[in-house]
Structure 1
Amino acid sequence: MNIHEYQAKSILKEYGVKVPAGYVADTPEEAVEVAKKLNKETGTKFWVVKAQIHAGGRGKGGGVKVAKSIEDVKSLSNDIIGMQLITPQTGAEGKKVLKVMVQEDVYYPGESEIKEYYMSVLLNRATGKNMIMYSTEGGMDIEEVAEKTPELIFQEEIDPSVGIQGFQARRVAFNLGTSGKAFKEMVKFVVSLYNAYVGTDSEMFEINPVFKTSDDQVMAVDAKVSLDESALYRHKDIAAMRDVTEEDPTEVEASAAGLNYVKLDGNVGCMVNGAGLAMATMDMIKLSGGDPANFLDVGGGANATTVEAGFRIILKDPNVKAILINVFGGIVRCDRVANGVVEAYKNIGDIKIPIIVRLQGTNAEEGAKIIDESGLKVTSAITLKEAAEKVKIALA
């Protein structure tokens, strides 16, 4: 699950990570009040107005602006709230901005040189250890840095059973070239950031940039956080941060129905029980000359209700030209699934596109008979090869 920047910073702050003062606003008028509040709290005379969407690269799309007056705050907020923000991570359709974060400007002059770094914490799946990835080249695309100057990308692997050690945090601070007060602040920052990552069961914490101020404070100027949805039951407060307006409406509907659904760009809708079988089904669709339109796992207890919900979700995609239902009858009997398909079909009404139902496992033949004798525009199959051939015919 992704969360907004202002939410990520509230989590970081709880774990002792320094962040610039800032608040979220839904309207330009609220943004002005926030700016005045920040002026009283911090004395800042400049503010940064930042679009809150679940995507990076907001600055490139015009979603991050510096305001040098209260009037600027209102004007810029008015421009950003409601805009369709297009970034390298949103795709061509972009995302509509519904709120902004107004933040104090920390790029103030001082005795020390300001500096931007990159830092992220994530799992290295190859080693089974957590990893801090960091670079002196913050504030820009880390992919570009990795491609052009890979020697500027550092990694620190941490055994999750032991946790981050002091010497590791110091090594990170040393490799980033910090010294004196900034070195001590960076060590604290690294430890706190790692603890936030572990403490929230996150998949990734990305801070770009990590900023060293002119008075040698180290803080997270930006923050991108992705959380492990499977662990959200342990974090009710974080689960409440979910913003469904940032998610695909169909995926939200599927989640509410207890289905695992991911929309793709193909022409064959697929409904399967089990993630592994779903992946195999998508491969089969490709081999038959089609392209999967979705990943949809109805789980082991497929019944009329889940099948109907799956049908309705798949049929919302206008690109779908055929539907393949591929069920292995292990936990659930194939005849029960077949009855569920027939009942769901009748509840929905006339379905214009061909449907192929491949049943294998317990009572597969009985299930195929139910499908074939239903009188509906549904074709049964038992083997993968047979199902693939029927998908190919349906697309012809």
Structure 2
Amino acid sequence: MRLHEYQAKEVFAEAGMPTPESVLAESTDEVLDAAESIGYPVAVKAQVHVGGRGKAGGIELAESDEEAREAADSILGMDLKGYTVERVLVEQAVDFVDELYVGVTMDRGAGEPVAMVSSEGGVDIESVAEESPEAIAREHVDPAFGMHHYQANRAVYDAGVDRAVASDVASVLTTLFDLWEDRDASEAEINPLMITGDDEVVAADAVMNIDDDALFRQPDLAEMEEAAAGDDLEAKANEYGFDYVRLDGNVGIIGNGAGLVMTTLDLVDYYGGEPANFLDIGGGAKAERVANALDMVFSDDNVDSVVFNLFGGITRGDEVARGINSAIEEFDELPKPVVVRLAGTNAEEGMEILNADALDIEQTLEGAVQRSVEQAGGAQ
């Protein structure tokens, strides 16, 4: 479960994290009232589950009623990477001199949590990790003992954080790790953690994703789930019983198994494409289930092509193929190209059954992904 920024900041503030004064608003009048209450200048920030909100026009600064009204009218109701903005966070603007990144997640390769600090905050941290990995200081944490203060201090020192604020940044990192652990989070980050001219640190953004399987231990966070969803497709996925996560790309991905879907996501990225979603339809591939999956992916305006990565296990490949054929018969014409790769039990029989007039069929997963990336416009 992904929390919205305003929800994550509530959790952070309760833990003693320094956050700006803010008010949630759903209308222009509420934005103006909030701005007057907080005092100008303020930031008006779209509350949707996408990255790069600022670059996409989802964050505006306002120094007067007129500017706040313009920002509210511009952001509320806008389509932001496929999401309709229904709420904004009106927040006290921070006069900063530096921006940092701090985050905690699970390093599955190392089998341990990892805490991270970077002096290159305020930008896409994934780009920093790819282009300048040395700019991110990492500290692995033994889950049996938790994060020690010396580890937080070392990460801050390795990141080159100014000594005047190093202790406060280390304290924020320690608190963030404790929240990540205590709240059963899969990811927690602040980007940016702003440094003011008075050497104060402020969490100007907040990201927190919670492990769905642990929500029974987090009843207060579970209550936030409906408000956190904020997306018709994710609500539809819950209704259908799919494991679904919406992403920012344009290659739709459908598979029957989490491992298959993750592998497909990795290959889409490897061949220069950008995944639009994670969609695991689970065991079996009956016509209705496949049709529901296609309906979901076709409903995402960001999607330009779809790739199926399916495995015939208990459900044989020929049954999977019949399910796909039955599903596409519900469409007069497929609105977007669909590439299918089928493997496993009776895969050859299934490949022969698939409707080659409506679908693009590939023998290998690599070939299927490459074709789908090409159909979506090629490498980005």
Larger Rg: 1
Match of 2:163 in 1: 178
User: Could you give the per-residue CA deviations for residues 126-150 of structure 1, whole angstroms, max 9, x where no partner exists?
Assistant: 2112112212233344456556765
Matches within 5 A, 1:125-140: 125-140=108-123
Q: What residue ranges of structure 2 are gaps of 5+ in the alignment?
A: 267-274, 365-380
Once the 2 structures are TM-superposed, how far is the Cα of residue 190 of structure 1 from its aligned partner?
1.6
> Which is further off, 303-312 or 200-209?
303-312
Distance in 2 between residues matched to 1:121 and 1:355, nearest whole Å: 36
In structure 1, what residue type is equivalent to 2:75? Answer: I
- Taking structure 2 as the reference length, what is the TM-score of the superposition? 0.69
2:162 maps to a residue whose letter is G
Shifted more, 68-77 versus 137-146: the winner is: 137-146
User: Matches of 1:322 and 1:57 in 2, distance apart?
Assistant: 24
Q: d(CA) in 1 for partners of 2:143 and 2:40?
A: 43
Paired residues of 1:15 and 1:195 also in contact (CA < 8 A): no
Cross-structure match for 1:123: 106
Aligned residues: 346
Q: Which residue of 2 aligns with 1:69?
A: 64
Q: Does the 8 Å CA contact 2:261/2:309 hold for their aligned counterparts? A: no
Seen in structure 2, the aligned counterparts of structure 1 residues 344 and 50 have a Cα distance that, compared at 3 Å, is closer
Tell me: CA distance 1:21–1:274, structure 2 relative to 1, closer, same or farther (3 Å).
same
What do the CA deviations read for 1:267-289 (whole angstroms, capped 9, x no partner)?
xx997643456689999xxxxxx
- d(CA) in 2 for partners of 1:357, 1:173: 46
Q: Distance in 2 between matches of 1:321 and 1:141?
A: 25
| Residues 201-237 of structure 1 deviation map (CA, whole Å, 9 limit, x = unaligned) | 2232221221233343322011233333443444313
Q: 1:22 to 1:356 in 2, by over 3 A?
A: closer
Are 1:104 and 2:99 an aligned pair?
no
Instruction: State the SS of the aligned residue for 1:222.
Output: coil
Secondary structure of the 2:163 match is coil
Aligned pairs for 1:33-72 (under 5 A) are: 33-38=33-38, 44-72=39-67
CA drift at 1:338: 9.2
Structure 2 CA distance for partners of 1:26 and 1:205, relative to 1, 3 Å: same
Pairwise mapping of residues 262-273 of structure 1 onto structure 2 (< 5 A)? 273=256
- Deviation at residue 176 of structure 1 after TM alignment: 1.4
In the alignment, structure 1 segments of 5+ residues that lack a partner are 39-43, 109-113, 284-291, 387-396
2:378 maps to which residue? none
2:312 to 311, 328, 347: 328
Q: 1:11 to 1:314 in 2, by over 3 A?
A: closer
Q: Note if contact 1:158-1:164 (Cα within 8 Å) is conserved in structure 2.
A: yes
What RMSD over aligned residues (CA atoms) do the two structures have, in Å?
Answer: 4.8
Residue 203 (structure 1) aligns with: 186
1:225 alignment partner, one of 190, 194, 208 = 208
Contact residue 354 and residue 377 of structure 1 kept, 8 A: no
Given that 1:281 and 1:326 are in contact with CA atoms closer than 8 Å, whether structure 2 keeps it comes out as no
Q: Deviations over 1:312-366 (max 9, x none)?
A: 5577699999997956353x689998998899799x598889999979769x9xx
Moved more, 122-131 or 229-238: 229-238
* Closer, same or farther: CA 313–99 of 1 in aligned 2, 3 Å: closer
Shift of 1:164: 0.6
2:4 matches 1:4: yes
CA 1:241 to 1:191, structure 2 compared with 1: closer, same or farther past 3 Å? farther
Closer, same or farther in 2 for the Cα pair 1:241/1:199, shift >3 Å? Answer: farther
The two structures have a TM-score, normalised by structure 1, of 0.66
Letter in 1 for 2:70: S
Counterpart in 2 of 1:155?
138
* Percent identity of equivalent pairs: 34
